[in-house]
Amino acid sequence: MKAAFLDRDGVINRNAPRGRYIKSWDELEVLPGVADAIRLLNGANFRVIVVTNQRGVSLGLMTVEDLEEIHRRLLERLNGAGARIDAVYYCPHGEGQCDCRKPATGMFRRALDDFPEISMRDSIVIGDSWRDMEAAGVLGCSRILVQDATEPSCAGEPRMDVDGVAASLLEAVRQFAVGEA
């Protein structure tokens, strides 16, 4: 089975300003077309899995409970729109404290433990940073970079090898996952 591993901030919801964090549901703004993109992935028999670094927990800016409430409400909202996310994995740690913070692959390995039918070779990672693309390369997944021309999240980051670039999650899914270009 194929999976679509989606980063959260900058792909599913608008990024917080640089150096800041989304700490509550009220601060999370789901980007346009996200529910449509996830419905397309569901219809194309992808497992849809969110993998997200959430360092704000380790910095004491929010609790794990706050983060889980954000994810519970996000899933509830998307489910209400007919869009199913199969699982959410998050890394609450700071730099160098774990093997799950992207670009490390611990969250992906947990997903494989929970969904052993996933074929990484047939799967995609859709993210907005070099961390996402580096993890995808290690895993052997296709690497799709979401790069909003009005808010380049990769400015100043290392050059990345990618398999495709799109302006939004919906565009990425249409062009590189389900072939509706």
Going residue by residue through the chain, which has 181 residues, state the pLDDT in tens, using 9 for 90 and above: 999 999 999 999 999 998 899 999 999 999 999 999 999 999 999 999 999 999 999 999 999 999 999 999 999 999 999 999 999 999 999 988 999 999 999 999 999 999 999 999 999 999 999 999 999 999 999 999 999 654 445 545 555 689 999 999 999 999 998 876 5
Structural domains for the chain: 3-177 (3.40.50.1000)
Starting from the edge strand earliest in sequence, which strands make up the sheet with 3-6, in order? 87-91, 47-53, 3-6, 124-127, 142-146, 164-166
Rg (CA), the chain: 15
pLDDT of residue 156: 52
pLDDT of residue 150: 45
**pTM for this prediction:** 0.93
> Cα(89)–Cα(49) distance, rounded to whole angstroms?
8
> Cα(104)–Cα(116) distance, rounded to whole angstroms?
19
User: Quick check: bond before 92 cis, omega within 30?
Assistant: no
Cβ–Cβ under 8 Å, residues 144 and 162:
yes
H or E element at residue 34: helix 34-43
Q: Look at the block and give the residue holding tokens 């901030």.
A: 9
- Known catalytic residue at 132: no
> Cα(52)–Cα(113) distance, rounded to whole angstroms?
17
- Rounded to 10 deg, the angle between the 34-43 and 64-80 helix axes is 70
Q: Look at the block and give the residue holding tokens 């996933």.
A: 118
